[in-house]
Amino acid sequence: MNTKNRRIVLIIGALAVVVTTLAGVLLLWPEGENKPVSATSAAPKPTAGPSPVQVVDSFLQALSAGSAAQAAAMTDNPAAAETAIAALAKNVPAGTMKFTRDGTTGAQSDGGAVKVPVRVTITVSSANEWKSSMDLVRTGDKWVVKWAPTVIHPQLAEGQSIAVLGQVVGQTGKPAVLGEDGNPIMVWQGATAEPTDPKISPLLLKALVSGGGGGPGDTDTRHISIIDGAGKEVGQPLFGTAATPASTEPIKSTVNAKVSVAAQNAVAKATQETMIVAIKPSTGGILAVAHNGAAGSASNALNGLYPPGSAFKIITATAAIQQGMSLDSGVQCPGQVTVGGRTLKNAGFDLGAVKLRTAFARSCNTTFGEIAGNLQPDDLKKAADQFGLNADYSIPGISTELGKVEPAGSIVQRVEDSIGQGNIKASPLGMAVVAATVAAKRPITPQLRGDAKTQVVAGYNAPSAAVLGQLQTMMREVVTSGTATALTKFNASGKTGTAETENQGDNAHGWFVGYRGDVAFAVLVVDGKTSSLAVNVAAAFLGGL
């Protein structure tokens, strides 16, 4: 054989070796991702079940989702794996942790085993990352994950877990938060405080234990640590600042469990975005905040601003009384009226000559439009100031905004403002403060904690007791003979609200703002079109108290 032919034979032989080696590699990673970095590693024999990469991806997906049983079934020690993964799911909020194959490092094969690099991302305050690895081994004819705590974190030992912790860590079984009646509404379970009932105002409970209410400007003060089986932190936090030792006393809150459950049950029955805020008039304590699944953001009940519709007639009636009218003053309630070029209509009725109290109870748009035409540009703003709609509070743990009412520069603007349209905006919290002010016949300061008082940035002075007494009478008649007679049996008082104008379209929100005894509240049904849905939610709420 000549030299040229000998070279051809050698090249062909070398290519055969390469092809054979690559074939073994591709049997291990059929998708071609994260191929072994060692070309000389011995390739395992093919199996009948899912390939290693399929097992890896399925396992990491189940692990990320906290599906303990599903992930554990793909390991060589399902019992130990399920216990560890279930603990991880309990101690880390859902959706904050993700396990993926680390694309920066290749897998390593060693006979019948494969070591897979893993990248873990946990998002608390910001995205935090670490790297771990796991081994795949063949059991019979299938690949499984060789279970070890280090799959989750390289420092994790048997019986330990990763946990996202708040500012305070307490003793398991002990009260973490007390309700306004002194009974526990949250207790410590390991490293986390759990509600005694999941229907108890989750937004408020989160604010109480973590300092974050979910609203704009809140700071996430949680940290990430390794904990032992008793929930005690092991070593220094992996990310963030160490928790402060638990106080010997639980947090004292204003939240009422019964009111909260009644509120949550009431909003849960609604199909539109619905929310309730309840306040205790005698103390200003926030009793409950509830929203249903259709609500875009839980914090909207505390800081979302919406046109209050005819519920704002509480304010317009106050301005009228302060200008010399009384609840028995004679007014006109025609079916339609034009004031300053702005035409208003009632919801299909014409009462003619009536008393102010009747026009209020029946929610006569035309009456209040005419009243507004005789007011000064800032009269409605001054009246709104007396109910806290322009007040400003710093309440520990939550971000709040009560409302926004400004002077009206024209008669048309005042007419629209008088029925809660135009430039008038209020949050459910703000309208609950309005109702609480009427019920208490004095200004109130919303509170959430007994050990961390609300800072009054800009407070308010309520109308006189005489004016508020007349409002109490009119709000009672809304229920006994007006637009909310469905609430008669509940002995409540209040005011319905809808943006009832000729061009309301589909953007009218339904409101009921009222009180019964020492519970004042506001119900908002976004895009409810009429107030009837809000009245129904109010009935369900009052029926649960």
As for how many domains the chain has, the answer is 3
Q: CA angle 425-426-429, nearest 5°?
A: 170
* 418 CB-contact burial (10 Å; exposed 0-12 / middle 13-18 / buried 19+): buried
Stretch 488-514: mean pLDDT, rounded? 81
Per cent of the chain over pLDDT 70 is 83
Q: Of 105, 132, 159, which one is at a domain's C-terminal end?
A: 159
pLDDT score for 66: 87
Side-chain-facing half-sphere of 7: CA atoms under 13 Å: 3
pLDDT score for 215: 31
Helix%, strand%, coil% for the chain, nearest 5: 35, 25, 40
Classified as helix, coil or strand, 332 is strand
248 inside domain: yes
Q: Of 217, 252, 287, which one is at a domain's C-terminal end?
A: 252
Lowest mean pLDDT among 71-80, 220-229, 402-411: 220-229
Greater confidence (30 vs 237) lies with: 237
Name the packing angle between helices 465-481 and 313-322 (round to 10°).
130
124, 247: one domain: no
281 inside domain: no
State yes or no: pLDDT of 42 exceeds 60. Answer: no
400, 503: one domain: yes
Lowest mean pLDDT among 52-61, 97-106, 211-220: 211-220
pLDDT score for 174: 87
Stretch 181-198: mean pLDDT, rounded? 88
Q: Of 113, 129, 159, which one is at a domain's C-terminal end?
A: 159
Q: What is the DSSP string of 70-116?
A: HHHTTBS-HHHHHHHHHHHHHHS-TTSEEEEE-TTS--EEETTEEEE
119, 242: one domain: no
pLDDT band at 112 (very low <50, low <70, confident <90, very high): low
113 inside domain: yes
Q: What is the DSSP string of 205-269?
A: HHHHHHS--SSTT-----EEEEE-TTS-EEEEEEESPPPEEPPSSPEEB---HHHHHHHHHHHHT
6 inside domain: no
Stretch 351-362: mean pLDDT, rounded? 97
pLDDT band at 29 (very low <50, low <70, confident <90, very high): very low
173, 141: one domain: no
pLDDT score for 123: 83
Stretch 379-404: mean pLDDT, rounded? 95
Give the CATH number, domain containing residue 345: 3.40.710.10
131, 203: one domain: no
60 inside domain: yes
pLDDT band at 276 (very low <50, low <70, confident <90, very high): very high
130, 227: one domain: no
44, 107: one domain: yes
pLDDT score for 535: 97
pLDDT band at 36 (very low <50, low <70, confident <90, very high): very low
Question: Over the chain, what is the mean pLDDT?
Answer: 85
pLDDT tens profile 117-174: 989 988 877 788 999 888 988 888 888 999 999 999 999 999 999 988 875 556 778 8
427, 476: one domain: yes
Q: Which range marks the domain in which residue 357 is found?
A: 303-514
200 inside domain: yes
Give the CATH number, domain containing residue 86: 3.10.450.100
184, 147: one domain: no
62 inside domain: yes
pLDDT tens profile 70-96: 999 999 999 999 999 999 988 888 778
Lowest mean pLDDT among 136-145, 329-338, 438-447: 136-145
Rounded CA separation 284/237 (Å): 38
140, 196: one domain: no
542 inside domain: no
pLDDT band at 229 (very low <50, low <70, confident <90, very high): confident
Greater confidence (446 vs 27) lies with: 446
- Global pTM reads 0.68
**CB 259, CB 545: distance < 8 Å:** yes
406, 367: one domain: yes
386, 502: one domain: yes
Stretch 321-342: mean pLDDT, rounded? 95
Q: What is the DSSP string of 397-413?
A: T-----EE----SSHHH
